[in-house]
Amino acid sequence: MNMTRREAVIKMAVLMGASVVGPRLLARTFGTAAPLEFADADIALLDEIGETIIPATTVPGAKAANIGAFIAMMVADCYTPPAQAEIKAGLARFPADYRARYGEDFLTGRPVNRTQFLNTLDVEQRKHTSEVRRKIEGNRAAEADEIPPHYFRVIRELTILGYFTSEIGSTKALHYLEVPGRYDGNVPYKKGDEWFI
């Protein structure tokens, strides 16, 4: 049986209860809306955001895994129209917000400024997520369900998911240890090795 990467990622998210990429994944009613389009400039920006989140070190970073195209595909195929609109709007204002704060373009900006800006967005999305949770706890679940996720939360989660399910992420950034397999209590370990099961 042959399976595409898209099918594998969606099936993995379903098996994991969609906990990795948020509760709204796979909630979209397929085929009822016009297809969402991302411009080449949007994908280039997503590549650079992804590269700032997972930069190249001794192994290639998120940009080498074509993370921008992956995020665009996932948003277009798996998110509700309100969430898509929020992500597109956030992506549209992202370059101007960065330029206003640092006086440079994000694509060519200094790495320290790029990281600092994304950290600021992360604080912002955490506040947004906490507010949604408060509404859910306050028995206003229907109201909270209508609130789209913060665009940076979606980008960050899809960057992590896309990178570690890509060939680069799963073969060069991580080492695979088959389980169940034979037990070996004396596996060689070098400081800095990263293992996953």
Domains of the chain: total? 1
Tell me: the pLDDT tens digits for 21-59? 454 444 444 445 556 789 999 999 999 999 999 999 999
**Domain-located, residue 120:** yes
Residue 116 has pLDDT above 80, yes or no: yes
Q: How many CB atoms lie within 10 A of CB 57?
A: 8
Residues 6+ apart with CB under 8 A from 121: 152
Tell me: the pLDDT tens digits for 133-189? 887 777 665 555 567 899 999 999 999 999 999 999 888 888 766 666 777 777 777
Q: How many CB atoms lie within 10 A of CB 104?
A: 13
**Domain-located, residue 88:** yes
Comparison of pLDDT for 23 and 76, the residue scoring more = 76
Please give the residue range of the domain that contains residue 77. 29-181+189-196
pLDDT of residue 147: 78
Cis peptide before 180 (omega within 30 of 0): yes
**Domain-located, residue 124:** yes
What does DSSP assign to residue 64? Answer: G
pLDDT of residue 30: 46
